[in-house]
């Protein structure tokens, strides 16, 4: 039976602003991940679809769990695999799921992204940005080594009154002001721990506190810090016994080792790290980021629409 999101006793309340619990590497154990994270104070999970192959899984998860905020989008890595009627299909999912936001969409010039025609990436990205504006919904954006292009496109297409979530933001401090003016929020994940701490601190200090979000990007973005206790993803024994692999063309990682997979409960590690760099308390950061995420995801029809006034 689905459980309503609740604040666990004696813990801070957190909003995982971007994750992929429908990912084939963790789909079978997603119920246990959600239960454990909820017990650890994670009240909401923004679960992002990445292609036509997984939108239905995100929809099903959102129907089963009130804590799951569904998001549908075509990720740049799967642009080459899109069907001729992908946009019609995407529109149908939004028509059937009014509580959904847009995402994950974006631009990628990284090691994998550079193998995909950038012109096509831009075309698909712009179409989805226009759809988000049309539907008045926030949009979760992936950007790797393409922040100049991103800023140009957002300026041309924006502004975005419903908001833009820049997921796992690792851009420069100098770009923050321009992005903020276009309606952007800056979501921080375990990938931040891989950045030089002085650079990360400068970037974080440039962000208005009311535009910062926390996320896990689970099952990716496992935090990499010394002397931390990570919560491991449980092994799916049924698949292990059958010799099945969770890896397929819809998986973003090159490994299926559970030791490398991220658990939504590890958002606490991201919170602690960000709070230390910002030199504020963890409680203050938890409260403000929960409020920010609730505001962003409080568009008409959303699951948190009636919650924003209470935060």
Residue 201 CB contacts under 8 Å (≥ 6 apart), including other chains: 277
93 C-beta neighbours (distance < 10 Å), count: 18
Is 142 flagged in the annotation as binding? yes
Q: Are 12 and 283 in contact (CB under 8 A)?
A: yes
What CA–CA distance (Å, rounded) separates 37 from 28?
Answer: 16
Is 104 flagged in the annotation as binding? yes
Q: What is the edge-to-edge ordering of all strands in the sheet holding 212-214?
A: 14-19, 42-48, 68-72, 101-108, 139-144, 164-166, 184-188, 212-214
Give start and end residues of each alpha helix (H) in 106-260. Answer: 118-135, 147-157, 176-181, 197-205, 237-242
Is 20 flagged in the annotation as binding? yes
Closest by CA position to 119, among listed 156, 159, 169, 79: 79
Binding residue positions: 18, 20, 104, 142, 167, 217
Binding residue positions for a divalent metal cation: 18, 20, 104, 142, 167, 217
């Amino acid at each position: 039976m689905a459980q309503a999101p609740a604040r666990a006793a004696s813990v801070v309340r957190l909003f995982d602003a971007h994750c992929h619990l429908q990912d084939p590497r963790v789909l079978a154990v997603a119920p246990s991940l959600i239960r454990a994270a909820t017990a650890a104070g994670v009240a909401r999970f923004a679960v992002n679809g990445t292609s036509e192959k997984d939108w239905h899984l995100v929809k099903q998860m959102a129907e089963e769990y009130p804590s799951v905020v569904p998001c549908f989008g075509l990720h740049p890595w799967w642009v080459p695999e899109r069907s001729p009627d992908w946009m019609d299909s995407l529109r149908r999912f939004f028509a059937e799921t009014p509580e959904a936001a847009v995402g994950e969409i974006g631009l990628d010039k990284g090691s994998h992204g550079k193998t995909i025609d950038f012109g096509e990436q831009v075309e698909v990205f712009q179409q989805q940005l226009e759809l988000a504006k049309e539907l008045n919904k926030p949009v979760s954006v992936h950007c790797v080594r393409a922040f100049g292009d991103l800023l140009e496109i957002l300026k041309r297409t924006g502004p975005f009154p419903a908001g833009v979530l820049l997921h796992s933001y690792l851009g420069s401090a100098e770009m923050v002001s321009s992005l903020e003016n276009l309606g952007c929020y800056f979501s921080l994940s375990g990938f931040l721990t891989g950045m030089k701490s002085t650079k990360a601190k400068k970037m974080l200090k440039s962000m208005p506190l009311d535009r910062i979000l926390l996320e896990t990007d689970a099952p990716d973005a496992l935090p990499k810090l010394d002397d931390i206790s990570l919560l491991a993803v449980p092994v799916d024994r049924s698949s292990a016994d059958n010799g099945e692999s969770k890896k397929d063309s819809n998986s973003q990682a090159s490994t299926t080792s559970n030791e490398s997979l991220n658990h939504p409960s590890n958002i606490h590690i991201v919170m602690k790290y960000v709070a230390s760099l910002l030199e504020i308390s963890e409680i203050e950061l938890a409260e403000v980021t929960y409020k920010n995420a609730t505001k962003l995801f409080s568009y008409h029809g959303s699951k948190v629409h009636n919650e924003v006034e209470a935060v």
